[in-house]
């Protein structure tokens, strides 16, 4: 058993060493699962009892190591509230992902009991993809550790994400790991040499052909010339001091000064970070044109005829109750609060996009009223829990000239299909606004930047990234970081980007791979359930 534990932990360490922002060890992904598969095989072949439980516990351990080492910064982002709150809350992302990953392996074991190893391994890939898709779709969504994200630091290898999205990377990693595992098992089981040679040939083909295609695509990809001058601003205001310590007017002065330092007559977009206008309790969207913050931004834009400002802001809307004669919000009224991207231009036109992929616990309460008893706990880690409301579909913000920008607020940048939805609706470039200072100087900010490269490849759109205290950057349609700021410095970057209106296969079809995988996984789970029920009946008959 100790050997299996070591193999499981070794897998976790290999996957961590391969994970962004690591650049030179990404190839560890291709064999990082192999020790885990060997450990599981050892249990299956053993004479021990409760094999399913042991497989679940063993795989959970390895995946807990991988997740904890890769996203340790989650603890950094909440530790200011104190150890008693930070430690248990940080265990949610550290543990929930590994629990789902281990569940995929438990299902693999149950499926294999009713079939054989080859079919079981195919089912394992489906169960894994179903877990990943679930973990980007439910109320506790945290798709940060989706396997396909592992190539974010070596984006040159996965230019074909424009066809598959990150789930193509997940499948690629699993196919290579399974082939290596089968070759290893072939030696231990004295498999025919001819079989091992076939497996080796498959391994070589599946490893090299996607790489060759991707590198060819990367080196031959040409952007269509359609330039637009964009400015991204990094004001570097400590997120813990944005409210109360520096008034909003001063913060806007910092933003406009930085914008002016690089702005040109032909600049079409100035992009400011998430909650750049942190007006509390939030700007009334219906009254924004009379708000002093809006007027201050409009005054700045008067120098730029074609200029637009996309800025993060805290906004709200009032929905009248039964008494429509009340001038001010009354007791019967409903208020919705938003984490918003606002588009302001040299006219009375104002556009809003409300962040929809909300951070569980901090920005939204998972499963609504079912977990309402946790509100007092979550309020300690970022404000009024569940107070933000999102919108159903991705949005596009348009300039007066007709240019469409996909507003992507912080956490949303790890949802490929969500960003693709904005591109499908007309976005010609992606504007990511974020505030990564909560994570401090950890690998979290670097991972978040690297993941943006995958969105550029999937959609073939430039990314203009404005981070308050993280790393601001411009990323081209191949996923190359063309410019980037340093960490924890005030900066403004300008870039002539190429707009694009063509739609990739992935943008047109979205996450078709995980949907197919999830459907097959559901069939597999039904099959397992039927087999388990039949087995119980057989045991009951045998007893009687």
Q: Read off the CATH number of the domain in which 285 is found.
A: 3.60.110.10
Q: Specify if 466 maps to a domain.
A: yes
- In this structure, of 170-184, 251-265, 365-379, 490-504, the range with the lowest mean pLDDT score is 365-379
Q: Specify if 366 maps to a domain.
A: no
Is the domain of 484 the same as that of 538?
no
Which tokens hold the place of 486? 């340093």
Q: pTM of the entire structure?
A: 0.92
Is the domain of 400 the same as that of 502?
yes
C-beta neighbour count of 440 within 10 angstroms: 16
Is the domain of 56 the same as that of 187?
yes
pLDDT the model gives residue 331: 54
- Structure confidence by residue, pLDDT tens digits, 315-349: 999 887 655 444 455 555 788 999 999 999 999 89
- Give the chain's end-to-end CA distance (angstroms, integer): 36
Rounded Cα gap, residues 102 and 134, in angstroms: 14
Q: Specify if 384 maps to a domain.
A: no
Domain total of the chain = 2
Is the domain of 207 the same as that of 236?
no
**75/126: higher pLDDT:** 126
Say which residues have a Cβ less than 8 Å from residue 176's Cβ, sequence separation at least 6.
Answer: 30, 31, 203, 206, 207
pLDDT the model gives residue 439: 80
Is the domain of 419 the same as that of 473?
yes
- Structure confidence by residue, pLDDT tens digits, 147-205: 999 999 999 999 999 999 999 999 999 999 999 999 999 988 877 788 889 999 999 99
- Structure confidence by residue, pLDDT tens digits, 69-121: 999 988 776 655 444 444 555 567 778 999 999 999 999 999 999 999 999 99
Per-residue exposure over 277-299, b if at least 16 CB sit within 10 Å of its own CB, e if not: bbbeebbbbeebeebebbebbbe
Q: Specify if 211 maps to a domain.
A: yes
Question: Does residue 433 contact residue 463 with C-beta atoms inside 8 Å?
Answer: no
Is the domain of 112 the same as that of 257?
no
Is the domain of 55 the same as that of 159?
yes
DSSP 261-321: HH--TTEEEEE--TTSB--SS-EEGGGGGG-HHHHHHHHHHTT-TT-EEEEEEEEEEEE--
Q: Specify if 383 maps to a domain.
A: no
Is the domain of 495 the same as that of 516?
no
pLDDT the model gives residue 385: 47
Is the domain of 480 the same as that of 413?
yes
Q: Specify if 365 maps to a domain.
A: no
Q: Specify if 374 maps to a domain.
A: no
Domain of residue 98, residue span: 2-220+512-543
359 pLDDT tier (thresholds 50, 70, 90): confident
pLDDT the model gives residue 542: 66
Is the domain of 62 the same as that of 208?
yes
Rounded Cα gap, residues 419 and 310, in angstroms: 17
Is the domain of 449 the same as that of 500?
yes
Is the domain of 449 the same as that of 492?
yes
pLDDT above 90 covers a percentage of the chain that reads: 75
Q: Specify if 40 maps to a domain.
A: yes
Q: How, if at all, do strands 227-234 and 491-498 pair? A: antiparallel
Distances (CA, A) of 309 to 14, 426, 526: 44, 19, 52
């Amino acid at each position: 058993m100790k050997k299996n534990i070591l193999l499981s932990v070794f897998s976790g360490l290999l996957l961590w060493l391969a994970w962004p922002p690591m650049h030179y060890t990404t190839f560890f992904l291709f064999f990082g699962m192999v020790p885990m598969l060997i450990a599981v095989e050892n249990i299956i072949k053993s004479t021990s009892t409760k094999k399913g439980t042991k497989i679940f516990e063993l795989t959970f351990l390895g995946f807990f190591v991988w997740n904890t080492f890769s996203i340790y910064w989650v603890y950094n982002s909440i530790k200011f509230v104190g150890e008693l709150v930070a430690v248990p809350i940080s265990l949610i992302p550290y543990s929930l992902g590994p629990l789902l990953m281990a569940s995929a392996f438990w299902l693999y074991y149950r499926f294999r009991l009713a079939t054989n190893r080859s079919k079981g391994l195919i089912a394992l890939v489906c169960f894994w993809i179903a877990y990943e898709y679930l973990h980007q779709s439910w109320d506790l969504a945290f798709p940060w550790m989706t396997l396909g994200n592992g190539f974010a630091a070596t984006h040159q290898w996965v230019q074909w994400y424009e066809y598959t999205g990150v789930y193509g990377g997940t499948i690629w990693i699993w196919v290579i790991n399974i082939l290596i595992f089968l070759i290893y098992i072939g030696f231990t089981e004295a498999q025919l040499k001819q079989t091992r040679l076939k497996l080796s040939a498959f391994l070589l083909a599946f490893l090299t052909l996607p790489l060759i295609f991707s590198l060819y695509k990367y080196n031959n990809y040409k952007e269509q010339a359609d330039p637009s001058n964009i400015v991204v601003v990094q004001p570097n205001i400590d997120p813990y001091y944005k409210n109360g310590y520096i008034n909003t007017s001063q913060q806007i002065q910092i933003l406009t000064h930085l914008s002016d330092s690089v702005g040109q007559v032909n600049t079409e977009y100035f992009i400011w970070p998430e909650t750049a206008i942190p007006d509390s309790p939030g700007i009334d969207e219906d009254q924004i044109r009379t708000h002093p913050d809006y007027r201050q931004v409009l005054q700045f834009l008067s120098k730029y005829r074609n200029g637009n400002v996309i800025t993060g802001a805290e906004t709200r809307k009032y929905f009248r109750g039964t008494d429509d004669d009340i001038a001010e919000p009354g007791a019967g009224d409903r208020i919705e609060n938003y984490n918003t991207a606002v588009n302001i231009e040299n006219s009375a036109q104002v556009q809003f996009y409300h962040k929809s992929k909300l951070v569980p616990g901090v920005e939204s309460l998972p499963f609504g009223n079912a977990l309402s008893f946790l509100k007092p706990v979550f309020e300690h880690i970022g404000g009024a829990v569940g107070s933000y409301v999102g919108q159903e579909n991705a949005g596009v913000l348009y300039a007066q000239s007709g240019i469409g920008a996909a507003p992507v607020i912080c956490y949303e940048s790890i949802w490929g299909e969500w960003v693709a939805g904005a591109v499908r609706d007309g976005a010609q470039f992606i504007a990511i606004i974020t505030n990564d200072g909560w994570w401090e100087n950890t690998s979290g900010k670097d991972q978040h930047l690297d993941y943006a490269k995958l969105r550029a490849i999937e959609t073939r759109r430039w990314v203009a990234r404005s981070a308050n205290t993280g790393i601001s950057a411009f990323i081209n349609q191949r996923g190359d970081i063309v410019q980037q700021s340093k960490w924890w410095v005030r900066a403004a970057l300008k870039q002539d980007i190429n707009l694009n209106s063509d739609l990739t296969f992935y943008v047109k079809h979205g996450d078709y791979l995980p949907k197919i995988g999830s459907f097959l996984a559901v069939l597999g789970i039904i099959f397992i359930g039927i087999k388990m029920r039949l087995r119980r009946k057989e045991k009951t008959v045998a007893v009687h």
